[in-house]
Structure 1
Amino acid sequence: MISILATKLYLPRLRPNMVSRLRLIGRLNEGLHRKLTLVSAPAGFGKTTLISSWIEGIGQSSAWLSLDEGENDPTRFLTYLVAALQTIAPRLGEEVLRALQSPQPPSTEAMLMALLNDLTITKDPFVLVLDDYHMIEAKAVDQALTYLINHLPPHMHLVITTREDPQLPLARLRAQDQLTELRAADLRFTLSEAATFLNQVMSLTLSDQDIAALERRTEGWVAGLQFAALALQGCQDPTSFISSFTGSHHFVLDYLMEEVLGQQDARVQTFLLRTSILNRLSSSLCDAVVLDPSLSGQATLEYLERANLFIVSLDSERCWYRYHHLFADLLRLRLQQSITSSPGDAQDRERQVHELHIRASAWYENHDLAIEAFHHAVAANDVERAERLIEGKGIPRHFRGAVTTLLNWLGSLPTAVLDAKPSLRVRYASLMVVNGQTTGAEEQLQAAEATLQGNEVNDTVRDLIGQIAAIRATLALTRYQIEPMLAQSRRALEYLHPNNLFSRVTPYWVLGYAYSSLGDRAAARQAFTEGLSLGRASGHTFNTILVAIGLGHIQEADNQLSLAAETYRRVLQLASDQPLQIICEAHLGLARVLYEWNELDEALQHGQQSLRLAKQYDRRVIDRYVSSEIFLARLKLAQGDVAAAAALLEDAHQSARRYNFVPRFLEVAAAQVLVLLHQGDVAAAARIAQAYEQPISQARVHLAQGNPLAALAVLEAWRRQAEAKDWKDERLKAMVMQSVALKAHGEKDEAVQQLCDALVLAEPGGFIRLFVDEGLPMAHLLSEAEALGRTPNYIKKLLAVLKADEQRSEDPLSLASQSSAQLLIEPLSQREVEVLHLIAQGLSNQQISERLFLALDTVKGHNRKIFGKLQVQRRTEAVARARQLGLV
């Protein structure tokens, strides 16, 4: 996960003797009823100090976020935004935070919508401060903040401090009276404020004339006054000093900087310059960077605070500080000038600055802050160190917040550097694939190969060749290219070093899915099993989860439902709180098993969780949400909500077509056939079953058309094929359908025997819905099988579920025809709706009796009830009235 630097969330501490600015506090208070307060002024005008003092006095909860360059990454910005809000409500945005850490988070708008929904739960008013927003240059972050402002809940107030106006809809907010603005002219010290600051805060004894002159010279600029006050301490002739500088802020600042630094002894100057590379300061970090035993980091920081030398304490324990941003900028400029001012020594001085960054990087690495360590390694141009940090576990390569940072660095490297280190190009391509950027990855791999061609083929080179093949195998998987998946995975395993366990998991994972797609489940099981063993040995959670999910799929296909459920639950346990979208597949697999066990409520929970996580992927690239919608449609169908099932399937169908998710076409079609048959549209179901050549679906259509002989022919051929390939799940499905078709064909004894054989195979897995979803025909068959004494307890369990389903179907409709039902004297039951659909198709009572396996008198009884509820006398009137109400 992205490491959160807690000091960015601290409200800067105030000095006890600061200047009171009641006129500005009043304006801030008056603006609380608006959405946004913007404090925009150049550096050194006291923006942060003003807002800090105001926050401490308003009596409301507040969240604070100090921004820096890193938050130009939208993922990092949103991560810190949520972290800041959690200082008010610790559970707020938990789901968003988890989603942000995943390889392919949902859209920014979707995450902000979820965050805003969470914010509505917190009713107490609060203020969120975004300090130093001028550090943000990314348009995506501006757009995210604009969305947040547009939908800001009424109890939330946003404050932005910045050196320049942000790219936000300020004009519209002004027109709507939703914007409070404080600018440089407002923030300038008045003469009385300048007098208080100079003589009371800075302990000078200036005359009114000198104060007025200094205020004119600095134009009330707070930083200029502070620099002047520091320079004046100990000055024998303040009047002459004040009159000796003129010009713009830039020149005043240069002059005063010289004066202020000149008053510090050489050791303090050294400390200031060396620690200027740090965004945050702690005693041990400063000790590590300065590397001077005679300069205590803690003592020097406390001295700088006592001397008012532009340092801000970030916590009450005085453990963390930062320099005033303007002061830090000037110190860094001075550090850079020290390199360029002496051409003869420039290279050595630059090397010394790089050493400062290396020491900072080492400190951060030792304190498990890998991203900060990486940033300093990059600042030092230490490619080897940066690459080593990338390879370490401190920067999880499947979390986009970290991946974006790494990709930005790799993209900034000169071609010569990348050509000299093909391992960097390989890592570049790998991270692009992780980030969903498949375009350009192959070019990086080809460039790496071109460099490797001139190298001796030692173990290192062979391993890189293996890594390249593993990346290509993954690329092939995203494109459903089976042959390249097989070829590149095998090449990867041939070349990868035996000790490179992390990389070796990937080709086993891809091999497993390739074999599974080809129907070779034994080979797929072996590949997934070997990959799982390597994944556990490597200790890398993400890859272990990938192969475990693949193994779970194979266990399901082999009717080992208990093993599959155990595998999926282990995946969820392994993922723990890690925000991995890939576990949507574990939720979906577990949902399928639970559905089969008739644990519908829990199945629904896991199915919905699967869909929620799957939708966080880029829906144009990843098709997992389609499978989730198909499952939920099947579940809704089992619950009798045909309309909801049809709606889910329509969305799944459109998505699969729009983005050409070919492997999902068959899944969608099979579910569509079921829904259409429930709706009585046999013709449409027949067209789909024929178009996709699905034997089970074709058999269902044949049965609906009253042609069980054709159904048996299809099922027999499909069963032989499933047995030849050892497809246990398809064989069992075929046997169940064969028993229904044999019964419809009048071969009762053979149907019961076939069912008993299927029950023997199904009982160890605990299958329930496989049988009961066949409805009344299965109930009759099970009753006859019960008399034979085969698997008696299992049959009783199935019959009990069938009875419960039948009772539910006879309940008045509350879902499928809710809007229509309220126009009726009494709502139609589910069974009456089925009969009505068949009447609308022109079927006779006898045909309906055969279709639904009902006695003829029962059908006639349903007719009477339907006519009475619709208030009609005959069939044609019933159909017309039903169409008017939208029932058929």
Structure 2
Amino acid sequence: MKWLSLDRGDNDLRAFGLAVTLAILDEPESDLLTLVQQGQIETRQLASVLINRLAERSTAPFILVLDDLHLLTEQVIFEYLDYFIERLPPQVHIVVTTRSDPPLALAKLRARGDLADFRLDALRFDHDEVDVLLNQLLKLNISDAHIDLMVKRTEGWIAGLRLLALSLETIDEGKREQYIADLSQQDRYIFDLLAEEVLAQQREEIHQFLLETSVLDELTPELCSAVTQQPDAAAILRDVHQHNLFLVALGDGSYRYHALFRDFLQYQLKWRGDRILKQLHYRAAAAHQSPMQKLHHLISAGAWEDAIRQIADIAMANVGVLIGSRLASLIERMPEEMQEHNPWLLVIRGALHTEQGHNALALPLVNKARDLFKQQGDSAGEMLAVGLIVGTQPNMAYDEYVTVFEWLHDELSHITPELQIALLNDAMWNSVWNYQLERTEYYLLEYIDRVIQNDNPVTYRTTAQYIAEPLFCTSRGAQPFERVLPHMAKHGETDAIIQMGVYNIRAILAVLHGELEQAQQWLTLSHQIDQTYGGFAWVNTLIYGMLLAIVLIRQDFSSFDRYYDEAMQSFGQQDTASMKLAEFLYLRGRRLLQEERIDEAQHLTDDMQQYIIVKEHEKLHIALQGHIAQSNGNLDEALFQMQRAVAYRLSVYQLPASYVVQLSLALIQWHRNERDQALRTFQETLKPLVAWGYPGIAVQAGHEMIPLFEAGADAGIYPDFCRTCIAILRPSYETRPVNIPDSNETLTPREVDILREIVAGASNRKIAEKLVISENTVKSHITRILSKLDARSRTEAAARVHKLGIRL
């Protein structure tokens, strides 16, 4: 059993997640703790990790007690618990103590018989239980009549009974029943009445200690000594605990007061005056090691300037990490005038809106903060505000984009390395989505240089989570990542998250080079680590995106459907996946068209509309309409749509999917017998891919590109590259029988292979070499093919294929 005593300081997903992690895992991995502390692991990710760890334990029962859950109000915490409870292993049980029903799926749990519900009546002591407590255990010799009075006055409330017992123990036995009788006539709240009695019975030293330390959420000897300024605070703390004065042990020599008793003490303390209360909080702030607790006490002390400096320190120390609702709730306690006009308070409020996906609410606050920082000459604060602006606007207007990043370039040297790297990451990706080749390349090289110079595991973990194919398509190709790979590999030996990034870089390189089997192996290893930690949003999209591309090249539709369903289920729990959903729907549409499921593909174009965030998504949406028109045999419409899609290219910089769209345009031109134009489009598209050595992008246009690759090779257009593409596609192309329209004839897979070569103009000798069969065998197949097509020659057979619309 593990007992987790909650307090208001846990009313933050990061703090709560850390507390649960430490309660469940006896020796949690350092990299997991770092992710939790820095907010780099999402709600369901963390729950999945802990569930996996619990499942790996023995089958012995394990109980986790969450005490005082009513103190938590953040909805994300209860979403976390719902997900966690739903997937618990059978030997694990959660016990919750709370004063009100939490916003969990209680009805569902109750209907399934998975909930044992103990309400107030079941928790109250009845006459017999009070008799056992007072007379058998505490030997107070109270009569049945007076026990009845006590039950009535306390309503069987255990805490009230315990307080009453503390008072009775100090009263002579002959006067106890009169005390109970007098108590039953009082109208005051029983807890306050009894607590006041208990407090009055303490010697002055203890009395003073209890009141002054009530400002602390957690009582340690060091904190108690600082607040009370009593050097023997440790001894007093032990004395208080030994006298059962409502202290809850937290382990490691630390305690907290029972919530009701603490409320009572704080109420009593207020009567001593606001000046004393603020002084105690200021002492606590000076002694606290926790940045958030320090801030809490500074705000409680009304030390606004010190609080603002603390907020700035927290913000700068947590660049790229979730701000958390707890910090926001602390800021809400500050004067409204400060909240509206202090840049640090504005930027933190904006960051919280960004975390919650409310960018429209965040931007006015962050823009105002940036202006104020600029007026004050605070470069670090201004950079933080700019980073938030950039990070929340992947489609930022180009003119504003240029202004911002020119300023970023000038200011980077004035801030911490961690903030530099975080802002460079934002700058890099904003450049990607704005199709700015030179800026993408500049920020990428700066980013890689600073990551290597910093050589910090935390920075490498961030890099591991934001690697993707577009960054490999600058003029430097894969070179920047080949530089950083050895450094990451070294740290990856002891850090699983960094190792996952190493696998991802290797997988991307393998895909780009057309080494599909090797890529799938790296992705499998990466996916195993990703799932161990519950699934990182961007890593998930990278892994599933590459897996879908690989199996689509191979026309492995069953695997495609499995990966696609897994991805959609995973992405439904991750808001950050929205940037990739349009691309996934595009791939799904192309997969459906391979089986001529045209109506289903058409429906996907409607679904894609809601996920169009950047211009690249609009390009893919238009391209899918072009693919659909091509499948319907409407080559004029297909040409129009694909030309529109290609025209969406705003600069020389293109994302990987853009090359697939351009190759699809070349193929449509080829089918329209615009052979010269098709080869020009083909050559223009292949030029950068050849320079990088990336056949893996070209083959993503599909096996239907084989005739064009062959024609290109024959025309001297990058012949070695074209043959490499053909070699990659051929093994993945499983030929199927083809029915001949308007006849009862069917071409066998081998006849389809040979007829495809005939249409491409290949000689018998060339066909024999390619298919590794004899020329006599080729001739025999051709004889049967001509008969089935009712054709008298190879030329007539090729013409019949086009006339009948046979897809080879």
- The answer to whether the superposition gives a TM-score over 0.5 is yes
2:183 — aligned with what? Answer: 245
Q: Distance in 1 between matches of 2:444 and 2:311?
A: 27
Contact 2:298 2:304 in 1 (8 A): yes
SS in 1 for 2:101: coil
2:64 — aligned with what? Answer: 128
SS in 1 for 2:414: coil
SS in 2 for 1:308: coil
| CA deviation after TM superposition for structure 1 residue 526, in Å | 3.4
The partner residue of 1:635 within 542, 550, 562 is: 550
Shift in CA distance, 298/196, structure 1 to aligned 2, threshold 3 Å:
farther
1:697 — aligned with what? Answer: 664
Alignment of 1:552-631 (within 5 A): 557-558=474-475, 560-561=477-478, 563-568=480-485, 570=487, 588-597=504-513, 599-607=515-523, 629-631=544-546
SS in 2 for 1:189: coil
2:263 — aligned with what? Answer: 329
Is residue 773 from structure 1 mapped to residue 711 from structure 2 by the alignment?
A: no
The partner residue of 2:25 within 86, 102, 111 is: 86
| CA deviation after TM superposition for structure 1 residue 577, in Å | 8.9
Paired amino acid for 1:165 = D
1:712 — aligned with what? Answer: 679
SS in 2 for 1:274: helix
Alignment of 1:839-850 (within 5 A): 846-847=758-759, 850=762
The partner residue of 1:218 within 147, 154, 165 is: 154
Is residue 159 from structure 1 mapped to residue 112 from structure 2 by the alignment?
A: no
Q: Distance in 2 between matches of 1:312 and 1:555?
A: 56
Shift in CA distance, 435/98, structure 1 to aligned 2, threshold 3 Å:
farther
Shift in CA distance, 545/668, structure 1 to aligned 2, threshold 3 Å:
farther
SS in 2 for 1:182: coil
1:375 — aligned with what? Answer: 296
Contact 2:467 2:504 in 1 (8 A): no
2:442 — aligned with what? Answer: 526
Alignment of 1:65-464 (within 5 A): 65-74=4-13, 76-87=15-26, 108=44, 123-146=59-82, 148-149=84-85, 153-168=89-104, 170=106, 177-199=113-135, 201-202=137-138, 204=140, 213-236=149-172, 237-247=175-185, 250-293=188-231, 296-315=232-251, 319-336=253-270, 338-339=271-272, 346-359=273-286, 362-363=287-288, 365=289, 369-392=290-313, 397=318, 402-430=323-351, 432-433=353-354, 436-448=357-369, 459-460=377-378, 464=381
Shift in CA distance, 313/303, structure 1 to aligned 2, threshold 3 Å:
same
Paired amino acid for 1:604 = Q
Q: Distance in 2 between matches of 1:687 and 1:850?
A: 31
| CA deviation after TM superposition for structure 1 residue 358, in Å | 1.8
SS in 1 for 2:324: helix
Contact 1:101 1:400 in 2 (8 A): no
Q: Distance in 2 between matches of 1:661 and 1:190?
A: 63
| CA deviation after TM superposition for structure 1 residue 875, in Å | 6.9
1:55 — aligned with what? Answer: none
Q: Could you give the per-residue CA deviations for residues 30-70 of structure 1, whole angstroms, max 9, x where no partner exists?
A: xxxxxxxxxxxxxxxxxxxxxxxxxxxxxxxx343322234
| CA deviation after TM superposition for structure 1 residue 425, in Å | 2.0
Shift in CA distance, 616/230, structure 1 to aligned 2, threshold 3 Å:
closer
Q: Distance in 1 between matches of 2:256 and 2:712?
A: 85
Shift in CA distance, 844/324, structure 1 to aligned 2, threshold 3 Å:
closer
Paired amino acid for 1:233 = E
Q: Could you give the per-residue CA deviations for residues 313-343 of structure 1, whole angstroms, max 9, x where no partner exists?
A: 344x6x122323322222122223x24xxxx
SS in 2 for 1:244: helix
Q: Distance in 2 between matches of 1:613 and 1:663?
A: 33
Q: Could you give the per-residue CA deviations for residues 535-571 of structure 1, whole angstroms, max 9, x where no partner exists?
A: 6667887777778968996565446546524425645
The partner residue of 2:711 within 737, 741, 744 is: 744
| CA deviation after TM superposition for structure 1 residue 238, in Å | 2.4
SS in 2 for 1:774: helix
| CA deviation after TM superposition for structure 1 residue 162, in Å | 1.8
Q: TM-score normalised to the size of structure 1?
A: 0.65
Shift in CA distance, 597/176, structure 1 to aligned 2, threshold 3 Å:
closer
Alignment of 1:538-549 (within 5 A): none
Contact 1:532 1:547 in 2 (8 A): no
Alignment of 1:507-526 (within 5 A): 508-509=424-425, 511-513=427-429, 521=437, 524-526=440-442
Runs of 5+ unmatched residues, structure 1: 1-61, 340-345, 759-769, 776-801, 821-827, 868-872, 877-886
Contact 1:289 1:356 in 2 (8 A): yes
Shift in CA distance, 392/607, structure 1 to aligned 2, threshold 3 Å:
farther
Q: Distance in 2 between matches of 1:664 and 1:213?
A: 76
Q: TM-score normalised to the size of structure 2?
A: 0.71
Paired amino acid for 2:585 = D
Q: Could you give the per-residue CA deviations for residues 368-399 of structure 1, whole angstroms, max 9, x where no partner exists?
A: x3333333334334344444444446985357
The partner residue of 1:854 within 743, 767, 770 is: 767
Paired amino acid for 2:645 = Y
| CA deviation after TM superposition for structure 1 residue 432, in Å | 4.2
Shift in CA distance, 557/670, structure 1 to aligned 2, threshold 3 Å:
farther
Contact 1:699 1:712 in 2 (8 A): yes
Q: Identity rate of aligned residues, in percent?
A: 22
Shift in CA distance, 323/703, structure 1 to aligned 2, threshold 3 Å:
same
Shift in CA distance, 666/854, structure 1 to aligned 2, threshold 3 Å:
farther
| CA deviation after TM superposition for structure 1 residue 90, in Å | 6.1
SS in 2 for 1:180: coil
Q: Distance in 1 between matches of 2:342 and 2:348?
A: 10
Contact 1:512 1:524 in 2 (8 A): yes
Contact 1:67 1:131 in 2 (8 A): yes
Q: Distance in 2 between matches of 1:132 and 1:326?
A: 11
SS in 2 for 1:130: strand
Paired amino acid for 1:352 = Q
Shift in CA distance, 482/578, structure 1 to aligned 2, threshold 3 Å:
farther
Moved more, 403-412 or 113-122: 113-122
Contact 1:615 1:625 in 2 (8 A): no
Shift in CA distance, 351/412, structure 1 to aligned 2, threshold 3 Å:
closer
Paired amino acid for 1:592 = I
Contact 1:432 1:441 in 2 (8 A): yes
Paired amino acid for 2:550 = L
Contact 1:311 1:323 in 2 (8 A): yes
SS in 1 for 2:118: strand
Contact 2:39 2:321 in 1 (8 A): yes
Contact 1:709 1:741 in 2 (8 A): no
| CA deviation after TM superposition for structure 1 residue 244, in Å | 2.0
Contact 1:282 1:297 in 2 (8 A): no
Is residue 482 from structure 1 mapped to residue 392 from structure 2 by the alignment?
A: no
SS in 2 for 1:854: helix
Q: Distance in 2 between matches of 1:98 and 1:771?
A: 48
SS in 2 for 1:309: coil
Q: Distance in 1 between matches of 2:196 and 2:128?
A: 27
Shift in CA distance, 468/155, structure 1 to aligned 2, threshold 3 Å:
closer
The partner residue of 1:491 within 395, 407, 412 is: 407
Q: Distance in 2 between matches of 1:713 and 1:371?
A: 63
Q: Distance in 2 between matches of 1:736 and 1:449?
A: 44
